[in-house]
Structure 1
Amino acid sequence: MFKDKYSLTKEQNIFLAKKLIAENIYHSARLEGCNVTFPDTKTILDGVSVANMKMNDVECILNLRDAWKYLLSTVEKPFNLDYACKVNEFVARNESLEWGVLRTGKVGIGGTDYKPEIPVKENVVEQINKIMALENTTEKAIKYFLWGCRSQLFWDGNKRTSTLCANKILIAEGKGILSIKENDLGEFNKRLVSFYDSNDYSLIDQFIYDNCIIGIEF
């Protein structure tokens, strides 16, 4: 059981998210293996083209920008499967077989023998409801993030989608931002693979709580 690390007003938390939006987009892109630098990310977000950059990487950044815009304009909306699908619609636009809908076929995950089941809508809704019924907001966000990554609900962009959904949960209650910094990626990925193999949240949730939840100190 985690305690909330931060207690901000919704307005303070939205201010923080906007202030860190380029950084958060960069971290989310790197989390999914997008080959960009932070200066490149800032340049793309400023509407300037970057020489010799793959179109896929540019599209990843612009899709994340649009997903964050959607999140920050809909913080008041309830979080549910429809919301997660809408986030994925922005994140995975033009990247996957389909976007904004649950995956209907099998996928594999690199680095692990774990094979996620094809998601069944009723089961997904039930699991999201269970997570959202948790008492503590920070625990809720971390649990959703990890469950979303492992479940691979969508054809593509699952880590990015889960990160944004976790941030929606946090920001709505003023509990900070979830962002996995580049210097934590190695340890995070090692723990994530162990979590995929075991479904043991304790292998990674404390690491995320300690290192990846940020806020404003007063």
Structure 2
Amino acid sequence: MQLKRWWHNYHEFISLETAKNINRIVARDDAFFPGELRTGQGFFSTYNGDYIPPEIIDADKETEFLNELPASNRSTTDKALTLMFHNMRQQIFWDGNKRSATLLANKFMIDNGAGLIAVQADKYPTFLRKISDYYHSNDMAEVKYWTYENGIQGIDLMKAKN
């Protein structure tokens, strides 16, 4: 319910503050510090073994990334996928990074009329493997292509009018 209220009342551009607000809601019951940038080191298990994210989150670099991405010469969908996978791999928050990154990317998609990123449950294990491969390689080309082919849900305008 909190996310729905936020979504309907929040009309700012994608920013680090937007990401923090999403994480504050998404991870409020899971994280010790929801909405706060990760300040320590950790690791988590993936299909390819333990992944250790970047040691320190540089708020200035993340803000620069978020400012430059919308202005880049890419499609809306490519920008949204780049945003999502970048934020997932950076692990900028203590918990809820995949959920927060997906919601932030979907906000960008919806705000720009580009549909929705939604991987169906039966494809989710493959999606997690692709994410794991990306975490360890730092090459998001394959996971972006796979997600584009399997996880982008368009808006059927004819059905939306009925």
**TM-score between the two structures when normalised by the length of structure 1:** 0.66
Q: Distance in 2 between matches of 1:72 and 1:211?
A: 28
Q: Distance in 1 between matches of 2:154 and 2:97?
A: 24
SS in structure 1 opposite 2:89? helix
- Percent identity, aligned pairs only, is 32
Q: Do residues 71 (structure 1) and 7 (structure 2) align? A: yes
The question of whether the paired residues in 1 share the 8 Å contact of 2:45 and 2:51 is answered with no
Match of 1:90 in 2: 25
For residues 157-196 of structure 1, what are the structure 2 equivalents within 5 Å? Answer: 157-196=96-135
Report the residue type matching 1:207 in the other structure.
W
Please identify the structure whose Cα radius of gyration is greater. Answer: 1
Stretches of structure 1 lacking an aligned partner (at least 5 in a row): 1-64
Q: Do residues 130 (structure 1) and 68 (structure 2) align? A: yes
TM-superposed CA distance for 1:101, in Å, is 1.4
**TM-score between the two structures when normalised by the length of structure 2:** 0.88
Report the residue type matching 1:156 in the other structure.
D
Root-mean-square deviation over aligned CA pairs:
1.4
SS in structure 2 opposite 1:110? strand
Q: Distance in 2 between matches of 1:204 and 1:127?
A: 20
Moved more, 123-132 or 93-102: 123-132
Moved more, 167-176 or 110-119: 110-119
Stretches of structure 2 lacking an aligned partner (at least 5 in a row): none
The question of whether the paired residues in 2 share the 8 Å contact of 1:99 and 1:154 is answered with yes
Q: Distance in 1 between matches of 2:130 and 2:40?
A: 26
SS in structure 2 opposite 1:101? coil
- Higher RCO, 1 or 2 (CA under 8 Å, sep at least 6)? 1
Q: Do residues 115 (structure 1) and 52 (structure 2) align? A: yes
